[in-house]
């Protein structure tokens, strides 16, 4: 079992290499190839006493967030991302890839270089968020496909269901459709046309849901297009950040509260921050292509890379890609 990790195009390439090393130490059956800058990779390996733990492929060409994804993937043949995709595609033992580089390029690369699974209309970017039930909730498209058709959303539901079965171990994850109310007739044209398709699906569809309940723990898979998924995720993230700031301001505004914080409450509040820290969770999964790619965020730490690797192993062990293939081959 092998995986490839693209270490470049992100804020802290060193952290990516560190995450790769931690993964290699934790999963002895796994062989990891890191792709990226020779000096950075070798420095981290030597600092962390990791000689021999990783396979390495060196290149100094990088795809940045500012360039056109399609142009970049087509023209930068030696970029760390394109090289990673090539290794993934060509080596039958390679089960997946992690990258913290450009999301657009990762999506384009996955589609152009790995290829769509037969019958899949559009690959999607499934994000997982920690929910307040102590588990994770997956948003079927967090920004890949802006304008969707009902059949695409149906396929996202199928992929989300297979993925969440593997990740959470739940036999029958709940699948619901993002709307403005729970009643069947609520929503926009896209939602109304998608609802009957989901109702017929071979999964546990529980109807429409509202954004305010997204993270309460009742919803395993939330079906939506990439625009709405993005709005849902970023609104939640923005509100969470601002409340933590408001909390800090309120604590720091009075001596008494400051004292209380340092004497009594630092630990529970730090706990809370940790529960919400997305570095403790894997990145978003690009699904619908041959093999799985995890797109970790640009400021990933070693911990988030480790979680993403762990996720790839689950996806492989639970045969998520085969399950998706089978679903669409049947139809």
Q: Which residues pair with 32 in a beta bridge?
A: 3, 54
Specify whether the CB–CB gap between 277 and 132 falls below 8 A. Answer: no
Is 329 a binder of its own copies (CB under 8 A)? no
Residue of 126, 133, 113, 183 lying closest to 158 (CA atoms): 126
Q: CB-wise, 4 or 232, nearer to its own copies?
A: 232
Of 93 and 189, which CB lies nearer to its own copies in the complex structure?
189
Interface positions, 34-63, toward its own copies (CB under 8 A): none
* Pick 56 or 280: Cβ nearer its own copies: 280
Under 8 Å between Cβ of 175 and 165: no
Q: How many residues are listed for the chain in this entry?
A: 331
Residues 262-281 that bind its own copies (CB under 8 A): 263-265, 267-269, 271-272, 275-276
Residue 323 binds its own copies, judged by CB under 8 A: no
Per CB under 8 A, which of residues 116..155 are in contact with its own copies?
Answer: 132, 143, 146-147
Cβ nearer to its own copies, comparing 149 with 314: 149
User: What is the spatial order of strands in the sheet that 284-287 belongs to?
Assistant: 54-58, 31-36, 2-6, 94-99, 292-295, 284-287, 124-130, 136-139, 221-223, 174-179, 204-210
Distance of CA 319 to the CA centre of its chain: 18
Residue from 71, 257, 326, 329 in contact with its own copies (CB under 8 A): 257
Q: Does 193 bind its own copies (CB under 8 A)?
A: no
d(CA 6, CA 79): 9
- For the bound state, the minimum distance from the C-beta of residue 258 to its own copies, rounded and expressed in Å, comes to 8
In angstroms, what is the minimal distance from the CB of 31 to its own copies?
Answer: 36
Q: 90 - beta bridge partners?
A: none
Rounded distance, CA 198 to CA 151, Å? 9
H or E element that contains 128: strand 124-130
- Which of the stretches 28-36, 47-55, 91-99, 224-232 binds its own copies when contact is defined by CB under 8 A? 224-232
CB of residue 193 to its own copies, shortest distance in Å? 11
Mark the segment that binds its own copies (CB under 8 A) among 8-16, 50-58, 151-159, 255-263.
Answer: 255-263
b/e per residue, 202-239, with b = 16+ CB within 10 A?
A: ebebbbbbebeebbeeebbbbbbbbebbbebbeebeee
Closer CB to its own copies, residue 34 or residue 178?
178
**Cα four-point dihedral sign 64, 65, 68, 71:** positive
User: Contacts with its own copies: how many residues (CB under 8 A)?
Assistant: 58
Residues forming the site for its own copies (CB under 8 A): 132, 143, 146-147, 178, 180, 187-189, 191, 210-216, 225-228, 230-247, 250-251, 253-254, 256-257, 259-261, 263-265, 267-269, 271-272, 275-276
């Amino acid at each position: 079992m092998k995986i490839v990790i693209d270490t470049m195009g992100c804020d802290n390439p060193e952290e990516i290499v560190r995450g790769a090393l931690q993964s290699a130490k934790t999963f002895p059956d796994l062989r990891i190839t890191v792709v990226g800058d020779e000096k950075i990779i070798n420095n981290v390996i030597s600092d962390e006493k990791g000689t021999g733990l990783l396979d390495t492929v060196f290149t100094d060409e990088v795809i940045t967030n500012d360039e056109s994804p399609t142009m970049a993937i087509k023209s930068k043949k030696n970029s760390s991302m394109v090289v990673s995709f090539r290794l993934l595609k060509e080596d039958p033992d390679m089960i997946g890839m992690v990258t913290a580089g450009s999301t657009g390029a990762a999506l384009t690369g996955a589609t152009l270089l790995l290829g769509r699974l037969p019958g899949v209309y559009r690959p999607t970017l499934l994000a997982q968020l920690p929910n307040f039930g102590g588990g994770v909730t997956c948003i079927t498209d967090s920004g890949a496909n802006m304008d969707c058709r009902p059949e695409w959303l149906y396929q996202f539901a199928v992929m989300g269901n297979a993925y969440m079965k593997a990740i959470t171990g739940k036999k029958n994850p709940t699948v619901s459709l993002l709307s403005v109310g729970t009643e069947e007739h609520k929503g926009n044209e896209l939602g109304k046309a998608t609802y009957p398709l989901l109702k017929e699906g071979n999964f546990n569809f529980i109807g429409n849901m509202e954004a305010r309940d997204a993270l309460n723990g009742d919803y395993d898979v939330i079906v939506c297009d990439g625009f709405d998924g993005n709005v849902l995720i970023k609104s939640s993230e923005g509100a969470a950040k601002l409340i933590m700031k408001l909390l800090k301001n309120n604590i720091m505004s009075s001596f008494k509260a400051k004292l209380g914080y340092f004497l009594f409450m630092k630990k529970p509040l730090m706990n809370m921050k940790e529960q919400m820290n997305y570095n403790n969770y894997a990145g978003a999964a690009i699904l619908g292509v041959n093999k799985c790619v995890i797109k970790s965020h640009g400021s990933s730490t070693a911990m988030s890379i480790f979680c993403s690797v762990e996720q790839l192993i689950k996806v492989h062990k639970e045969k998520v890609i085969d399950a998706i293939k089978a679903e669409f081959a049947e139809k």
